[in-house]
Structure formats: structure tokens, C-alpha cells
Structure 1
Amino acid sequence: METTDKEILRGGQFLVKETQCEDVFTPEDFSEEQQMMKESVKEFIDREVWPHKPRFEKKDYAFTEEIMTKAAELGFLGISVPEAYGGLGMGFVSTMLTCDYISGATGSLATAFGAHTGIGTMPITLYGTEEQKQKYVPKLASGEWFGSYCLTEPGAGSDANSGKTKAVLSEDGKHYLISGQKMWISNAGFCRLMIVFARIEDDKNITGFIVEYDPENPNGITLGDEEHKLGIHSSSTRQVFFSETKVPVENMLSERGNGFKIAMNALNVGRIKLAAACLDAQRRVITEAVKYANERKQFKTPIAQFGAIKGKIAQMATAAYVGESACYRAAKNIEDRISIREAQGNSHQEAELKGVEEYAIECSILKVKISEDIQDCTDEGIQIFGGMGFSADTPMEAAWRDARISRIYEGTNEINRMLAVGMLIKKAMKGHVDLLGPAMKVADELMGIPSFDTPDYSELFSEEKEMIAKLKKAFLMVAGSAVQKFGPQLEEHQQLLMAAADILIEIYMAESAILRTEKNAKRFGEESQEIQIAMAKLNLFNAVEKINTKGKEGIASFAEGDEQRMMLMGLKRFTKYANLPNVVGLRNKIAEKVTAENSYCF
């Protein structure tokens, strides 16, 4: 299909416009080149990483560096880097795919890879001058140097712009002298290049700098000891101290005061990549859990045959399938938006920046949902293993600990929930997403008499797609009324924003799974997608239940009397099934397929 501007929804528009299944990209659409890339990354991880998992738990930082060097030799560190700077110059979907399959075996490698290829390299490719890119990016793409990203400080975490690190211009005007303290710096122990954020004089916003680090000639840079962490044991994480570190003025990244913008845009890409980095971890945990459940017998029966275990396996597999569906849908939207901007004459830098920024809402949605899904998945993995799951001798214990960081870095899930709704409202104010019109229609609908016609649900997903449309109305009702009531003060009502965000998240994820499955059922036949159809339906049921709960919570927080009663009646109407699915039957069908295949098989 030729890509035109009209066919691609803008970021956030999924809420107010219907997407046709033919217009979404799915993992079943991978090109031959992408399939080959996926297989080569998987083969690398299965050969070099998976058999050596215990080494990562023993804080073998040198081993992580060794694996990163091997990944570099195969070109994996330069997937998204333009060919002009020594990379492979592949599209955004291929970048996501590599991040997905390289990250599943251990969080230590996932973090090292993500920090280097994302926030360690990307700020230079997106914001650097031509000289900066020519000088540094080839070294990063080839793995000759590893990168790190120095933003967080003891007093500046979520409020990243409040950092105290200073950059003072030298008397001869040739250098900035950087002094300050950074913490939680991934790859600090083996990096040769740091993206450092510091404040010049009393500027409102911080500024970014490219800082070289040579352990033989530290230039005022001191590293703290390796942090003792709950998980990601072999990811090098240290404090970094700067004492009048001399940085040439030409190493300022972008313009003075542009650091906060660089940091935020780097995080947008980091968020969707982090979501991708949790996918193969889920697949591997499910596979290990199912293998164990098939082997472990109690009461002379494999525990995989017990209903309680089936329920867990089904939910784990469903979450992984839904996460894949949403991740690759958004990745292709970003890739297409980049192509459109390049066709309009934007530079690759500008096109990529704006392409990702356009879908910042979706990036936050994916980061929150999939980081929580991997935590749930590993938690249930431990439960399926029972007492053995609590033992460090099985893979579940390390997977559970590694998963925990995902809800914190790249912006905490609480911050990302509020960002998702906040950014959507800002887009509405700018006229990029028409929320007001649809919200007013929903308000009118609440005043009207509901239709009692019996709809025709004979087509695949006809009721489910109608339900998605109703769930969007539920969001517009709650969020629209909240905006009306609180206006700009809405951001002070964090619990209400988080409830609205949960509704938004569930809608995007559920719609993505249904569209992927519908597309595949049309081209491969419904029979071939029987289990995927079950997963899409099971996930939608879970989404409806959560939206019902979060909707009530939100409404009760700001509406009273007749207004509250009317909105609760609306919520009931918008979350009501005509034909309630047999949830237990769906779970059993999914679990039986996964246990028969003895792995995550979709």
C-alpha cells in the first residue's frame, strides 16, 4: 500500500477515528529482510547469552561488555544508525525488532543495549552537528566505544530539568568546565562517551554536552562503585562525578538550553523501545513456565492440566500477544510518519525526531502497559514453578527481579500515565486531535434514549469492534467532563488522570489486538487464527472490566448527584456486552494450545 499522509492517523487520533485492520502493521507483515534479522538476533542470543545466564547474576560486568562487543561485530548496535555514519540505516520497525529479540534473555544485556543504542547514541544522530556525527557515531555504531547518558541526579529524577550540574565557560571561551554529580548511570563502568546534561549560568533549561571519557586520562571524571541492585546485576550502574571536566565548546549538543528537549525526545524513543525490550522476555518466561508445567506432576497429573494453571498460562500468553500487536502497530506508524516527512524534504534527523514525537502518547501507553505485563508474567512464572520458582537455580527468580526496573526507568509509570492524558489534551488544544466534537456527541447521546434494536453480530469481531467504539465514548465522557470541570487545574488531580490513563491504555491495547487478528483472519482464514481470536476476545473482556472500575473511580472523584448518576448510567451502557464471552472457555482454549506446543507459539 502506498503511504499517504491521509491514511496514517496522527498520534492520539486512534481515540476518535476508526482504524481499518488493513491499515495496521503486524508481526506477520515482517519482510524477508526483517525475518532474517529476527532469526539472526535470536540465534545470537540463544548461542551467546541464554546458556550463560548465571554469569549475569554474578555481576560479571566484563561479560556484558564482551557480549555487547560481539553484538557490535554482527551490526546489531548500528541498526538504526544511518549508513553515512557506519550503521545499517534500517527503518524503525527493524530497530524495534532487534531491540525486542536481543533483550529477552537477561535484563542486564537489555539495559546495556538499550542505554547504548538509544539514549547513548541517538541524541547525537538526532541533534548533533555533521562534525559531531562524523566524529562520534561511527565509533558507537561499531562498538569501538560504548555510550552512556548522564541525566539523573540525587535531587533530579522525574523532575529532570532541576539538575544542579553546572557548565561554566572558560576564560578563553574554548571550553565549558562541567562540575556536578550524576547517578544511576547505565554503562558507566565501560563507556567511552557520555551525553551529559548541565546548566549554564542561571538558564531556565539544561544544556546537553558530548563528553569523552578515557580512564587513563579521566579529565576530572570519577566513577563511584558499582551499585548493588535488586536486578539487572551485570548492567554497570554507577555514580559519575565531574570536577571542572573540560569539554570543548564545539561539543555542546544542539543549542544552549535545548537539553531538556533533547532529554524528553530521547525518552519518547526510549519508551517504545523499552516496551519492545519486554516482549521477548515475556515469550521466554511463558515458554519456561509451560515446559515446567508440562513436566511437573502432582496427584499423578501434569500441573499444566489443572484449571488454575491454565488460567495463568492463558493470561500470560494473551498479554504477550497483545503487547506485540500494539508495539508493532505504533512502530510502523512512526516509520511511515518519518517517511512522509523525508518525502516532504525534512532531513533524516528532523523527520525521525518529529516522527517519534508525533506518537509520544502511544510510546507512553506501551511503556506503561508492557512493563507491567512483564512484571505480572514473571510473577505468575514464579507461581507456576511453585517453591522452585523462589529458588535462584530456576530462571524465574532472576527474570522477576530484572523485570522490576522496567516500571521505573524511561520515566516512571505514574509519570507516563499522566503524560499520556496530558499530551492528548494538549494535542486537542492545538487542534491536532478533535476531542471536543466527539466528547460533545457523547454528552448528547447520554441525554438521548438508547437504541433497543438488536444489532447483527454475524461478522467476526462485529460486537468487539462496537465495544471498542463504546469504550472510546467512556473515555471521552470521563475525560471530557473532567477537563470541563477543572480546566488547566486538571493536572493537579493526579489520581483522576491516572484512572483516565488506564482507560486510554486499555482501549489502545485491545484495539491493536483485535485489528491484528482481524487482518490475519481475513488473509489466512479464521480457522488458522482460532486461538488468536480467543486471545483478542479474552483481552477485551479484561479491558472492559478494568475500564468499568476505573471509570467509576474517576466519575466518583468529581461528579455528584444527578450528574454522577447520569455518567454512571452512561458508563454501564458503554461497558455492557450483548453476549458475554465464556471467559473460562477462552482461557482453556488458549492454554491448551500453548501447553500442546510446549512454548509461546504465536
Structure 2
Amino acid sequence: MSTEDKNLLRGGQFLVREINSDEIFTPEDFNEEQLMMKESVTEFVDRELWPNKSKFEAKDYALTEECMRKAGDLGFLSVSVPEEYEGMGMGFVSTMLVCDYISGATGSFSTAFGAHTGIGTMPITLYGTEEQKKKYVPKLASGEWFGSYCLTEPSAGSDANSGKTKAVLSDDGKYYSITGQKMWISNAGFCKLMIVFARIEDDKNITGFIVEYDKDNPNGITMGEEEHKLGIRASSTRQVFFNETKVPVENMLSTRGNGFKIAMNALNVGRIKLAVACLDAQRRTITESIKYANERLQFKTPIAKFGAIRQKIAEMATNCWVGESASYRAAKNIEDRIELRKKNGKDTDQEAELKGVEEYAIECSILKVAVSEHIQKCTDEGIQIFGGMGFSEETPMESAWRDARITRIYEGTNEINRMLSIGMLIKKAMKGHVDLLGPATAVANELTGIPSFEQPDASVLFSEEKQIIVNLKKLFLMVAGAALQKYGEEIENHQQLMLAASDILIQIYLAESAILRAEKLAKKEGEENVKEQIAMAKLNLFHAIDIIETAGKHSIISFATGDEQRMMLMGLKRYIKYVNMPNIIELRNIIADKITEKNKYCF
């Protein structure tokens, strides 16, 4: 889709617009440069990371630092850094691609990479002065220096703006003295630069600072011992203590009191990159699982031939493929919005990137939740396929499962992100950026009318599935519209209702992304040549309807009574109805056959 398209989808608008398959970007659309980058990153992972998994699990922090330097030498740390600061200056999709494929071998390296390239470097490239960018960004882009991000405190986790770390201006006005405690700081053990958030006097909002760290001249900075964690064991994670740490006034990041905004925008980018960073770990888990299942004989038969294993493989692959479809769809929307803002000339490059990502904050939260939960399911099933061996450290499954667990916590817990997605959608509607009221009113009127008896055209691929997507959007508008009408701004006090609404929203976005990708592929390659992808899109939609039905029912009976409740429950049944129910076992077998034959994840 051209960046000149005035109808470029805004964040959250997928809910009220019908999208065509030629409007979305898919991994099949990677250009030659992106494919070369993918190959280069995969080669690095296979050479430097995958063979050393046992060392990472043994908490070899020095190996993590060494591999980060090698990644810097190959340019991987500089993909998103503008060329004027000695970076590669590649687009948002390319930065996502690198984050995806470099994260497949071990969560330890993935966390170090993400913390450095994202929240360790990005705040300076986006908010720093020209002097700050010239001084620090080239060192971070090359891997000469590594960055960390000091936001979380013992009493300030999800409520990041409640931090107690203080910054006091010196009498001569030349520096701030920072005093306080930060915890869960990734890369703390080998960083040379910290993005630190502190409060000046009694300001409402925190302020960001760029703080250099030299072990030989610590400047009031002390480190706690390495944390002993369930997973990501070779990711350096420490508490950091500041005791009147002197920071020159010119190292304030952006303006006084702008730290909370910096932190939130950094998290938006971090969320979508966390989602994509869960993908290659899923691919590799599936590949290892099918290799084992093809080799493991029980009753003189490879267990890959047993229906119970085939079901697991098909579901694992489907979740991975669907998450990938949605992640790159959103990535291209962000990239196009950034380019459009640059072309219009109203923003600097940094402002364009900030506003481009912020535009799709809803999608970023959706993806963070969905894909982090996919990887947990995938690794859990990987252990199950390996059986007793899966519980052993000799196989890669148990470490993959442990590493996966953190993804549901950092960049904002999944519970926080579920509520954020709904809260941000409501705010967009109030600002007029997404028209929810009009479509919600139309749905309410439709419920009292005669339902359509028009049948889908079975000869047209996804004719019924696309109509179901339209209906699922109506279902969300029905539930959300009625809940908002009852509770208004107080809706945020009804967290369980918001969690249920977010589950509906998540499933709609992922199901639509998968169907549009499969349809686009079928137009290009022919339906028979992509029958597995078609099967995955249909299988995912079937599961999405189950989740949406449960979430919708729980929502409706929690706030509606009498005739309103009966009417909405009838609407729920209408909007999730199939005319031709898919054969789920047949769909799974189509997917499993392909993976078993190829002996790897092959989509």
C-alpha cells in the first residue's frame, strides 16, 4: 500500500473498516534487501548462539556480552539507527525482521539485544538533542557501548510514573544529583550508558536523563548481584543504586517532566518488537518437536503419525503463522505512517517515527499479548511432545519454556496491555480518530431488524470466513457500545469486563490478519499451492470464535439484564454463526502432513 494513500488505515480502524487482502503487507512481500538481512541474521544465530545454548543456561554473562559485540560488528545493533549517526537507517519492517530472527536461539541474548537496541538506544535517537545523538548513538550502534533502561523501582512497576528516585539541581545549576533505587535492569552488568528516570522536586511527571557508567569511576552508582531468574539466565539483570550520582544538566533527555511520555512511547515500540521476538523461538521449537516426533518410535511407529501429536504440531504452527501475519501487517502500517508523515514535511524524522508508532499503540498491545501467549503454549507443547525428555536440560524444550514465561510480564504485563488496548480505543473514539459510535448504533438497530438469510458463496475462497469477521466486529461494537452506554468513563473501573472485551479485540485482529494473508497468497500462488496456509487461517478463526463467544457471554451477563440481555445473547449467537462448519480434524491433518513431510516449520 502506497504511503501516498490518503486512506491509510489509522490505529484501531481495522475494527470499523473492511480491509482487502491487497492492502496488507505479509512476510511474502519482503524485498531482496530484507531477505538478505534475514539470511545474515539466521546464519549468525546458527553459528554463534544456537550451539552455545548450554553456556547461556549456565549463566555465562560474558558470552552474552561477547555475542552482543559480534552482533554490533555485523551491524545488527544499528539497523534502526539513522545513517547520520552511523547506523543502517533501515525501515520499521526491517528492524522488526532483525528482532524476529535474532531472537530464536535463546531468550538471554534476545533480552540483551532488545534492551540495548530498543529502550537503551531509541530514547536518545527519538528524544535526544543533536549533541546527545552525535555523542552517544554511534557508540551504541556499533556495540562499543551497551545501553540499559532504568525505570522500574520496588514500588513503581506498572505504575511507572510513581517512582521515588530523585534528581536535585546543584546550587551552581550545572548538574543534577540522582539518588534512588532501580530494579530488574537488563544489561546492567555490562552497560556503559543508562537511561534513568527520576523526579525533580515535586513534579507531577518524571524526567529522563542520560547517565554514563564507568566501573572504575562509578560516580555514586553501585550494582546489586546478578538476579537468579526462572529463565533468560544469561541476561544480566541487576538492581542499580544511585547515591548523589552527578549528571550534567545537558544530559537531561528531552524536557523536564517529559520522562513519562518517553517511557510510554518506548514501551509502545517495545511491545510490537517483543511480539515479533517471540516468533523465531516458536519456529525453532516446532522444528525441534517435529524432528523428535519423526524419530521417536512407539509401538514401532513414529509418534508424528499419532493424531494427538499431529494436533499439537498443527496448533503450534497455526499460532506461529497467525502471530507472524498480524505482526508484519502492523509493522508495515507503522512504517507507512512514518513515511507519510515525513513526506508531508510537518514532522522531523524523529517526530514522524514517534507519532507513527503511537498511532498504532492499540495494535502494539494486541500483538504483545497474543504472541507472548502463543510462545508459552508452543514451548509447553514442545515439552509434551518430547515427553520425559522434554523435562530434561539435555533437550532445548525446558529452557525455551522458561525463557518464554517472561514475555507475558515485561513491556507491561498482559493484563495491563489488555486493558490498555480497550482504554486507548475508547480515547481514540472520543477524539474522533475512530468512529465507534456510528457503527455501534447501526449494530444496535440491526439487532431489532430481520436477520439476513443470504448464503455465502462456497465457490469463493473465504466468502463465509470474511463475513464472519464482519460479524465479529459487529459483536464487539454491540458489547462495547452497550457497556460504554451503561458505565461511561467509569468503564475503567470494571477491569474484568475490559479484559473480556480485549480478548474479543485481539481475536478479531489476528483472525482477520491470517485470512487476508492466506487470501493474498492464494491469489498469487493458487489455492492448491497454499492449502496449508488456508487451513491455518480457517483453523485459527474457528478457535477465535470459541474465545469470542465465551468472552462475549461473560461480558453480556455481567452488565445487561432482562430484555436487553436476551437481545444481546441472541445477537451473540447470530454473529458467531457458521453456515458451513469447517472440519477441524481435516484442517489439522493438512497442516501436520506438510510439517511432518518437511521435518521442520516450513511456512
Q: TM-score, normalised by structure 2?
A: 0.99
In the aligned structure 1, how far is the partner of 2:527 from the partner of 2:598?
20
User: One-letter code of the match for 1:367?
Assistant: K
In the alignment, is residue 504 of structure 1 matched against residue 511 of structure 2?
no
In the aligned structure 1, how far is the partner of 2:477 from the partner of 2:581?
24
Percent identity, aligned pairs only? 78
Give the structure 2 partner of residue 183 of structure 1: 183
5 Å matches for 1:169-568? 169-345=169-345, 346-568=347-569
The more displaced of 105-114 and 520-529 is 520-529
In the aligned structure 1, how far is the partner of 2:27 from the partner of 2:568?
39
Give the structure 1 partner of residue 17 of structure 2: 17
User: One-letter code of the match for 1:79?
Assistant: V
Q: CA deviation at 1:504?
A: 0.2
Could you list the per-position Cα deviations for residues 34-92 of structure 1 after superposition, in whole angstroms to 9, with x for gaps in the alignment? 00000000000001110110000000000000000000000000000000001000000
Q: CA deviation at 1:5?
A: 4.1
Could you list the per-position Cα deviations for residues 256-315 of structure 1 after superposition, in whole angstroms to 9, with x for gaps in the alignment? 000000000000000000001000000000000000000111111111111011110000
Say whether the 8 Å CA contact 2:3–2:337 is kept in structure 1: no
Could you list the per-position Cα deviations for residues 519-578 of structure 1 after superposition, in whole angstroms to 9, with x for gaps in the alignment? 111011111111000000000000011100110011111011111111000000000100
Secondary structure (helix, strand or coil) at the match of 2:87 reads: coil
User: One-letter code of the match for 1:256?
Assistant: R
In the aligned structure 2, how far is the partner of 1:137 from the partner of 1:85?
6
Q: CA deviation at 1:7?
A: 3.3
In the aligned structure 1, how far is the partner of 2:191 from the partner of 2:466?
49
In the aligned structure 2, how far is the partner of 1:3 from the partner of 1:171?
51
In the aligned structure 2, how far is the partner of 1:396 from the partner of 1:451?
49
In the aligned structure 1, how far is the partner of 2:453 from the partner of 2:430?
36
Secondary structure (helix, strand or coil) at the match of 2:229 reads: coil
Secondary structure (helix, strand or coil) at the match of 2:149 reads: strand
In the aligned structure 2, how far is the partner of 1:241 from the partner of 1:451?
65
Secondary structure (helix, strand or coil) at the match of 1:586 reads: helix
In the aligned structure 1, how far is the partner of 2:358 from the partner of 2:16?
19
In the aligned structure 2, how far is the partner of 1:107 from the partner of 1:437?
45
Give the structure 2 partner of residue 139 of structure 1: 139
In the aligned structure 1, how far is the partner of 2:437 from the partner of 2:385?
47
In the aligned structure 1, how far is the partner of 2:566 from the partner of 2:597?
48
Secondary structure (helix, strand or coil) at the match of 2:6 reads: helix
User: One-letter code of the match for 1:319?
Assistant: N
Could you list the per-position Cα deviations for residues 222-273 of structure 1 after superposition, in whole angstroms to 9, with x for gaps in the alignment? 0000000000000000000000000000000000000000000000000000
Give the structure 2 partner of residue 54 of structure 1: 54
User: One-letter code of the match for 1:270?
Assistant: G
5 Å matches for 1:561-600? 561-600=562-601
Say whether the 8 Å CA contact 2:456–2:463 is kept in structure 1: no
Could you list the per-position Cα deviations for residues 139-193 of structure 1 after superposition, in whole angstroms to 9, with x for gaps in the alignment? 0000000000000000000000000000000111000000000000000000000
- Structure 2 residues not aligned, in runs of 5+: none
In the aligned structure 2, how far is the partner of 1:111 from the partner of 1:166?
28
User: One-letter code of the match for 1:425?
Assistant: I
5 Å matches for 1:98-117? 98-117=98-117
- Structure 1 residues not aligned, in runs of 5+: none
Secondary structure (helix, strand or coil) at the match of 2:280 reads: helix
User: One-letter code of the match for 2:230?
Assistant: L
Q: TM-score, normalised by structure 1?
A: 0.99
The alignment of Structure 1 onto Structure 2 pairs a total of residues equal to 602
In the aligned structure 2, how far is the partner of 1:4 from the partner of 1:180?
48
Could you list the per-position Cα deviations for residues 362-416 of structure 1 after superposition, in whole angstroms to 9, with x for gaps in the alignment? 0000000000000000000000000100001100000000000000000000000
User: One-letter code of the match for 1:192?
Assistant: K
Could you list the per-position Cα deviations for residues 192-220 of structure 1 after superposition, in whole angstroms to 9, with x for gaps in the alignment? 00000000000000000000000000000
Could you list the per-position Cα deviations for residues 457-501 of structure 1 after superposition, in whole angstroms to 9, with x for gaps in the alignment? 321111000000000011001111111010000000000000000
